[in-house]
Amino acid sequence: MYVKFILLSCLLGLGLNTKCQENGRLGYANLVCQYSVKWKFDTLNSIVRDDLIILQIGKDFSKNYSYYTFQSDSLSKTPKGKEKRRMLFKQAIKKANGGIPIGFPRKRSKTYVYKNYPRGKMTITDGISLQGYIYEDELNTQNWEVLDSTKTILDNSCQLAKCTFRGRQWIAWFTSEIPISDGPWKFGGLPGLIMEVHDIGKQYHFVMIGIEKKEEPIVFSKTYMASKKFEKTIRLEFIKAKRAYLMNKGGYIEMETGIDLGSNSSQKVMRYDLIERDY
């Protein structure tokens, strides 16, 4: 059974950008899914971050992206975007009542995943600091083992599957009631739509919270990084560079901006554990 949801874009009246840097409109989605995702950003201090992932599924390919990053980028290209952002931030502070403000437009995951684009492959765009990157990846590389356990998610009967993928053991719940071999992030290859997936330690946890039959355009999103264009790379080189950046943000800022943060400046050393560990 499909469960309808209303996209948060209704709050701001934002629409998909139908012009893109690469190939413009790729086609149309006929199914749109929402996933809540939580991950442990800093394993040393147990810092947990959250995001809202949108999965647009079309006849031949799909697109996976962060709604909040899309929301922030959409505001940045509007004439009064900064003003709107300030207003939403003030509203979030007021609502937080002394706590941490949430719900205002800000970038979260910069990862966009285009499955079966090009055919039989995935195209990934992402960013590190001020630079956007693009690389190809293999499609449906998880070697799943389907088990007998079942449970219900959003009124859909789901079956358990598990695999080891790029340094992590993953557990997924998929439904053959929706016979689409897709899921959040880079996951797919099961005989049904993945409704929930997490690694064994639940450092990364995706749960579907809404699904709707809906036709809307799928576009190849351009980068809003300062570089204004994607630099081609390969997956492992990107992952290594991302980890190096996370462990030494001050050094990257100094290299890119020329601002000397000083050798005595106090920098917090974070313990990062990326979703892909095979670097």
Residue 171 pLDDT > 50 = yes
Q: pLDDT tens digits for 29-53?
A: 999 999 999 998 777 777 888 999 9
The pLDDT value given to residue 96: 57
pLDDT band at 129 (very low <50, low <70, confident <90, very high): confident
pLDDT-derived band of residue 11, with 50, 70 and 90 as boundaries? very low
Residue 28 makes CB contacts below 8 A (sequence gap 6+) with: 58, 59, 215, 216, 217, 218
Mean pLDDT, range 108-112, rounded to an integer: 90
Of 51-55, 103-107, 150-154, 272-276, which range is least confident?
103-107
DSSP 150: E
Q: How many CA atoms lie within 13 A of 138 on its CB side?
A: 8
Choose between 235 and 17: higher pLDDT.
Answer: 235
Lowest mean pLDDT, pick from 62-71, 135-144, 160-169: 62-71
| For residue 146, pLDDT beyond 70 | yes
Token pair 């437009």 in the structure block, residue: 105
**How much is the pLDDT for 19?**
37
3-state secondary structure of 45: coil
For the question of whether the overall pTM of this predicted structure is more than 0.85, the answer is: no
Segment holding 88, helix H or strand E: helix 81-96
Query: Quick one: average pLDDT of 200-210?
Result: 96
For the chain, the straight-line distance linking the first and the last C-alpha, in angstroms and rounded, comes to: 40
- Ramachandran assignment for 69, one of left (phi > 0), alpha (psi -120 to 50 degrees), beta (any other): alpha
Q: Give the pLDDT confidence of 52-106 residue by residue, as tens digits.
A: 999 999 999 999 999 988 777 766 666 665 666 667 666 666 665 655 455 555 6
Q: Look over the chain and give the mean of its residue pLDDT values, rounded to a whole number.
A: 81
pLDDT score of 154 more than 90: yes
What is the model's pLDDT at position 252?
A: 56
pLDDT at 93: 65
Q: What is the tens place of the pLDDT at every residue in 214-243?
A: 999 999 998 877 778 999 999 999 999 998
